[in-house]
Chains A and B, each alone.
Chain A
Amino acid sequence: MSPDGVAVIGFVALFALMLLRVPVGIAMGFVGLVGFGYLAGPGPAMNLLAQSPIRTATSGEFAVIPMFLLMGALASTSGMSRELFRAANSFLGHFKGGLGIATIAACGGFAAICGSSVATAATFSSVAYPEMRRYGYPQSFATGVVAAGGTLGIMIPPSTVLAVYGLITEQDIGKLFVAGIIPGLVAVTMYIITINIIGAARPAFLPAGPRSSWSERAAALRDIWAVTLLFLFIIGGLYGGLFTATEAAGAGAGGAFIIALLRGRLTRAGFWQSCVETVRTTAAVFTILIGALLFGYFLTITQTPQKVTSFLTGLGLGRYGVLILIMVMYLVLGCIMDAMAMIILTIPIIFPVIKALGFDPIWFGVIIVMTVELGLIHPPVGMNVFVIKSVVKDVKISTIFYGVLPFVITDILRLAILIALPVLATFLPSHM
């Protein structure tokens, strides 16, 4: 059989196994090895298993992932999310839909020290959702806001998805993070505008909270120094060229630990719980990374990435036609797959196409994060939605999807803006 035929069968087998609920990483590794073995012999395939996984797991630069995850976990454990919400609420809560606006603002602030959108969504389902319900916000709106706000976690730096994209494509993670700043602020702004439009369109739908006094506001502001300091420390360090990305992650996690300790917010149990949670997530991410690399070697000897590139660029759709085709593919894939798994599986194939089309790799990193973000909140599989459901037990999944719908529309609009104006992503990194 020709390598092309083997590659096609490989993809079919991969999706079949994944649909049978074989773990994504295991399915990729298994198909990759069987395919490699078919083409190169079983001995080499088994030996690939001796070489590749341990090399992946002991790649020093990959340490960036667990350390950013740990920083987010420590920030959450030590109550930084609650402080952010209180501060945002004291300034914004009295507007119509103000608690929703405050939730978005606080999610944005928390995203500045947490690299995970699911963690951001989980944190604010317990911090902001009960407050919104207490003031009579509809369930659909309250969960929708948290689901959308959660996606800021991977848009605003630091971001584990951007870090993985950088590692796979060998792009500067620091530049990718800095590129996410303006699009992240655009996202926050557009979400807030969306809430205002909902409030204006359905006058009785969203209540307003009580107005806080200036002394309350000052007190709330004083509490968020820790978050501000951490963000400036990491992103300032990356922007100013003080740290490499791995060092920034280590410094951020260490900084979050020290701040929490000094403020007396970190128990021994809380610390170890954060570490254990991070280990679990890290193991899950690396299982996929390891599997994807094995699958990648199989694709390499079938020359699939080159063939996909010449196929897509030969379609005569033009650069933007191909780009839109790729993004539609991601949206479809986002119907069934996790964002991180999607990035790891597809970027090795898609990235050469993007390069061949002459798109800026840093800009595309931001675009791809925004695209997989959409996957986190659109049905039928939306990881953020599921996480909210696991925290807020009495809500129906369909209610959350209904509530998040306006934000999905906003996200698509934002994607169009970023494609039309790449400078929003490329301006800051070009000044590093």
Chain B
Amino acid sequence: MTRGPVDRFIDAIEMTAAVFLAVVTAITFVSVILRYIFAWQIPDSYDFGSLLLGILIFWGIAGASYRGEHITVDLLWSVAPPALKRAMDVFADLLTLACLGAFTWMMAVKVLSTLNDNVQTFDLRLPVWIFYFVAWIGLAAAILLLAVRTVRLLLRPDRAVRHANPQPLE
């Protein structure tokens, strides 16, 4: 299958999330080392770690939504005839889209209220809203990608991303 602009976009999103993951891990790893060898702690390492975790999760959700990699119960779906399968897929995608839409909207409200309420990190007193905003971008991307997926599913089922394999979780 040729890789279109949407695929390149999703690759970029996932790669960025991967970088955030590497940074979170590095911060934790280095903190342990510094603590044992130099008895020193990185200021705000806890806040940084958790805020970056939030970003990588929301960006990761964009990828999972586009690929249909969310955990599902496939009992009925796997025995359904193709037409019903497709109907179920469209229904699930539309409900997911609606939920993510409401979530993205309320998260935007949260970003703004965090800005207005002057919420800061503990040590360095950095504004928290910036981190929330970056996380929000992931959600906005998720909506965009899910919309693309749903439209493809409706109009061009042959090109829709299907991920029938279960995604390893535990």
Residues of A in contact with B (beta carbons under 8 Å apart): 17-26, 29-30, 33, 46-47, 49-51, 53-54, 57-60, 62-63, 66-67, 70, 116-119, 122, 153-154, 160-161, 242-243, 246-247, 249-251, 253-255, 257, 272, 275-276, 278-288, 335-341, 372, 376, 380-381, 383, 386-387, 390
Contact, CB under 8 Å: B99 / A30 = yes
Collect the chain B residues with CB atoms within 8 Å of residue A336's CB: 73, 75
- The answer, yes or no, to whether B72 is at the interface (CB within 8 Å) is yes
Q: A18-B73, A22-B95 are in contact. Are A49 and B102 (CB under 8 A)?
A: yes
Q: Known A30-B95, A250-B31, A280-B60; judge A386-B165 contact (CB<8 A).
A: yes
Q: Which of A280, A283, A381 has the most CB of B within 10 A?
A: A283
Contact of B168 (CB < 8 Å), options: A58, A116, A161, A287: A116
How far is it, in angstroms, between the C-alpha of A246 and the C-alpha of B35 when the chains are bound? Answer: 14
Is B144 at the interface (CB under 8 A from chain A)? no
A23 touches B46 (CB 8 A): no
CB distance from A28 to the nearest CB of B (A): 10
CB-contact partner of B169 in A59, A275, A284, under 8 A: A284
Chain A, interface SS category: helix
Out of B64, B71, B109, B110, name the residue touching A341 (CB < 8 Å). Answer: B71
A21 to B56, CA, bound (A): 25
Q: Report which of A22, A278, A284, A339 forms a contact with B69, defined as CB distance below 8 A.
A: A284
Specify which of B21, B47, B106 is in contact with A279 (CB 8 Å cutoff): B21
- Give chain B residues whose Cβ lies under 8 Å from the Cβ of A30: 95, 99
B74 at the interface (CB under 8 A from A): yes
- The contact size tier of chain B is 35 or more
Q: Which residues of B contact A272 (CB under 8 A)?
A: 15, 18
**Contact status of A279 and B63, CB under 8 A, knowing A47-B106, A57-B57, A59-B50:** yes
Are B64 and A280 interface neighbours, CB within 8 A? yes
Residue of B nearest to A237 (CB): B32
For A376, what are the chain B residues with a Cβ–Cβ distance below 8 Å? 170
Contacts of A26 in B (CB 8 A): 70, 92, 95-96, 99
Q: Which residues of B are at the interface with A, using a C-beta cutoff of 8 A? A: 14-15, 17-19, 21-22, 24-32, 36, 46-47, 49-51, 53-54, 56-61, 63-64, 67, 69-77, 88-89, 91-92, 95-96, 99, 102-103, 106-107, 109-110, 113, 131-132, 135, 165-170
Contact A283 B72 (CB under 8 A): no
Chain B residue with the shortest CB-CB distance to A67: B25
A285 to B64, CA, bound (A): 10
Pick the contact of A281: B27, B103, B167 (CB < 8 A): B167
Inter-chain contacts of A284 with B (CB < 8 A) = 64, 69-71, 167, 169
Instruction: Other than A254-B26, A341-B71, A381-B73, give 15 A-B pairs with Cβ distance below 8 A.
Output: A23-B92, A50-B107, A57-B57, A58-B131, A254-B28, A275-B21, A276-B17, A280-B64, A282-B60, A283-B64, A284-B71, A285-B169, A341-B169, A383-B168, A386-B166
The answer to whether B92 and A21 touch across the interface, beta carbons within 8 angstroms, is yes
Which A residues lie within 8 Å of B76 (CB)?
19-21
7 nearest interchain CB pairs? A250-B28, A283-B60, A254-B29, A23-B70, A118-B168, A275-B18, A58-B54
How many angstroms from the CA of A285 to the CA of B60 in the assembled complex? 10
Measured between beta carbons, the chain B residues less than 8 angstroms from A66 are: 21, 24-25, 53, 56
How many angstroms between the C-alpha atoms of A387 and B25 in the bound complex? 27
Contact present for A51 and B110 (CB under 8 Å): yes
Q: CB-CB < 8 A to A247: which residues of B? A: 28, 31-32
Determine the residue in chain A with the shortest Cβ distance to B62: A283
- For the complex, give the distance between the alpha carbons of A423 and B97 in Å: 48
Contact of A280 among B14, B15, B36, B50 (CB under 8 A): B14
Which A residues lie within 8 Å of B27 (CB)? Answer: 250
Chain A residues whose CB sits within 8 angstroms of the CB of B170 once the complex forms: 116-118, 153-154, 160-161, 338-340, 372, 376, 383
How far apart are the CA atoms of A60 and B50 in the complex, in Å? Answer: 4
Across-interface contacts of A19 in B (CB, < 8 A): 73, 75-76
Contacts of B32 in A (CB 8 A): 243, 247, 250-251, 254
Identity of the chain B residue whose Cβ is nearest the Cβ of A282 in the assembled complex: B60
Min C-beta distance of A42 to chain B, whole Å: 11
Residue of A nearest to B16 (CB): A279
27 sampled A-B residue pairs with Cβ under 8 A: A20-B92, A21-B89, A25-B71, A26-B92, A26-B95, A50-B106, A53-B103, A57-B57, A60-B53, A66-B56, A118-B170, A122-B168, A250-B29, A250-B32, A251-B28, A253-B25, A254-B28, A276-B15, A283-B57, A338-B71, A338-B166, A340-B170, A372-B170, A381-B73, A386-B165, A386-B166, A387-B166
Residues from chain B with a CB closer than 8 A to the CB of A18 are 72-73
